Every structure is written in C-alpha cells, then in structure tokens.
Amino acid sequence: MAITTFESLSSVLDTSRKDLRVVVSGNGAVPWSLLRAVDAILPTYRMHMLNAPVGVPDRTGVVLESAFVGAGVRRSPRLAYYPCRLSQVPLLFKRRLPVDVVLIHTSLPIDGKVSLGIEVNILPAAIESARANGGIVIAQANKAMPYSYGDGEIAVEELDGIIEVDEPFGPHGAPPELAAQATHKPAAPAPSKGIDRAESARVIGAMVSDRISDGATLQMGIGEIPDATLAGLLKKKGLGIWTEMLADGVLALDDAGALDPDRMLVSSFVHGSTTLNDWVHCNDRVRVLRTEKTNAPANISKNPGMTSINTALQVDLLDQANASRIRSRIHSGFGGQTDFTVGAMHAPGGQAIMALRSWHPKADTSTIVPLLDEPVTSFQHTAVVTENGVAEMQGFDERTQAAHLIEFAAHPRIREELWEEAVALGLV
C-alpha cells in the first residue's frame, strides 16, 4: 500500500483524463480532507456522491453526478442528475457508469479491517466497479468513524491507500469549519394555516403510530413527522428495523424496550448524532448493508408488518406522490421511497404510509393537488395521513380514493376546489 499521505496521492491519480469518475462517500460521511486533496490534484473529473452536503467542490472542471441530490449541488449548473431508484444505482456502475476512483471514509483498522461505518449503501458496488475497471480505492481512516458490521467491512490489504486523520463530523455532513455556523442558524418558523407546525407533526405522528402494531418492522426517515411518530411507538413491543437510514429515533426505541432484542437492526447508512455513532460502533445488533440488499423490494417484503413511512411534496387525487421535483427542477430524487413502498405493500401485514402536512406554508399552497405536474416518485399507498385525518387508499376504487383524499387529507380551504377538479377529471 503506497498511499499513506495526502502528498503521495498525485502519484496514483491520472491528471490527463478529463472523464475520470470519482465516487465519494456522501450523506454525513464525506471524507473532507481526502476529497479536497484529490480536488486540488485533478483539474477535471466527475464526482459521484449521494446527497452531497454544502461544501463539496463545485467549480469549472467538476461534473457533479448524483442519483439523490443534496443541498451542496442542488442548484449547480454542473449537476448531472441520474433518475434512478437507489437500489438500481449499483447497476449503473456495472453497465453505464464505470468507476475509476473511490474515496471512502472509514474507521480505523480493527483486526486487519476497516469499516465504512455510517455510509455503506452504493459504495461496495462502486469499489467492485473500480476493481473491474482497473481503478483505485483510497480510504480516509478516521477515529471518529464508528466501526459498523455488515457489508462495509474491508480488509486493509484490499485498499490502494489509507490515510489516517482525526477529523470531526459536522452536522448533517457539513465540513467541520461550517459546523458552528450551521449549529447557530436555526430555520425561522414558517407561517401556518390554523394549526402550527409542531402541533400538526404531533397529530400526524399520533395517527401514524396508531396504525403500527407490536412486532411490526419500521422504515422511517428523519424530521418532525418521523420524530412525532416515534413518541407513539415507545410503548410498543417487539419492533424491528429494516430501513434505508438509521436515525437517532432508534436510540429512544431501544431505551424504551420497544425493539425486539433478537432481531438485527438493518440499514444502508446512519445519519444522526455523535451519540448514535457511538451506539453503532461495534454493535452486534446493527448491520449496515449495501443498498441492493436493504432496498430490494423482495427483501423488504419478507419483514413482518413492514411499515414504510414516507413523505412528499405533493400527492394528487390519483394517489400519486411527487417527492423529488419543484417546478420541474430536481430537488432530491427517488431515493428509497419507491423501493420501500412496493416492498411494504407486499409484506405480510405490511403498509406503505404517506405522511405529510396538508398545506405547504412557504409556497402557501395545498399539498393535495388535483393532478401532478411533476414526475411521480411513488403511487398507490396504503394510506395518506395529514393533520386533518387518514385517507385510506388500499382496496378502494379510484373515485373513492379521490373522495377520501379530499374529505380526510386535504386542507378544508381547498376542498371545494378539489371537488370541482375531481369532476373535471372524471373522478366524481
């Protein structure tokens, strides 16, 4: 292994290539020092990263590739967005997007292995593509990165380089120098229509948690509504976790004794506090697996009572959800929503819940719309839940579904207009 310092990177990077594809750990696991060192060496390259945070290189000469767009690249003119379910991204690396360089953020070695820690998902597939393509894999090994068990464990001798650092994690993946700034700039509360944000989240969370039985398996994200749902789950028993993202909520469930101690807690990445990272470190109950496994609908459907809880920007009267675009511009991407919606609907006792507020305060508009103008992220859920109530979808014909959405999910001030639009759409 020749690469042990940042200075030695220039000896293995091909600066003559203009189309060099560099896959980098994303979300909250960006290897900032390693990425910046590589960026200083390569005049041009293609950087592929999931959910890239603010601070990643965005300059002339860098093409920003992603199947899930983060805040750091969302408005960049250099963004190349690949519409793709996350479970299918590994196939892109095999068929269409061969990888030349992989930059990973790992734990320090334990018994001759490092771990990808909090970010596994597409990285094993990227490493395999690089190997098949004659590429290289460089690790930034950090004592702050937990050692997680699963598909992210890599023998040190399989790496082309490993550079040890002592680098803290910033909030939500922000570079360390932006951490204080991000911590001290809370978002201003948005205006509401009647019920305030905290109360609406509490109401939605309570209705969602009421639908979840003891022994169910959960897929939950991060945010106010998942957090509010959590409050109603603390008294449940025998719960399992099969999710894309493992967040801090799992700590509260574990402390409350709501989790089944005999079931593995499965995710493809971890995104949360230092406390969560410490809890994941060498935890035999946690498995962080590659996205082809966690997001495969066939695997998801094997979990008892699989309950997928997702949100969207809009839901229309045909129960189609848009969670990825605003005014035709990409905001995020499909993510795992489609995979988990399909998998949950096929699971024994499973359900796919769409949970969202009925009114978007910043845009001052209804989130329940007659017909989507944007591409569909997912469709045909078990139920749509807003602060106004539960609109049951599964097992009802399209006219009844539309009526349920208008009467039970939509904001009262938009219902009359939605009824008129439903007539025009032939849904009444």
CA 215 to mean position of chain CA atoms:
24
Residue 153 to residues 16, 119, 242, Cα–Cα distance (Å)? 32, 11, 19
Distance separating alpha carbons of residues 47 and 237, to the nearest angstrom: 44
CA torsion sign for 277, 281, 285, 291 is positive
End-to-end Cα spacing for the chain: 69
Residue 313 to residues 58, 245, 316, Cα–Cα distance (Å)? 27, 20, 10
Hey, which residues are catalytic here?
A: 244
Distance separating alpha carbons of residues 402 and 397, to the nearest angstrom: 9
Which residues in 320-374 belong to E strands, given as ranges?
320-322, 325-326, 329-330, 351-355, 359-360, 365-366, 368-369
Residue 401 to residues 50, 124, 317, 337, Cα–Cα distance (Å)? 35, 41, 7, 20
In this structure, what token pair is assigned to residue 256? 């409350």
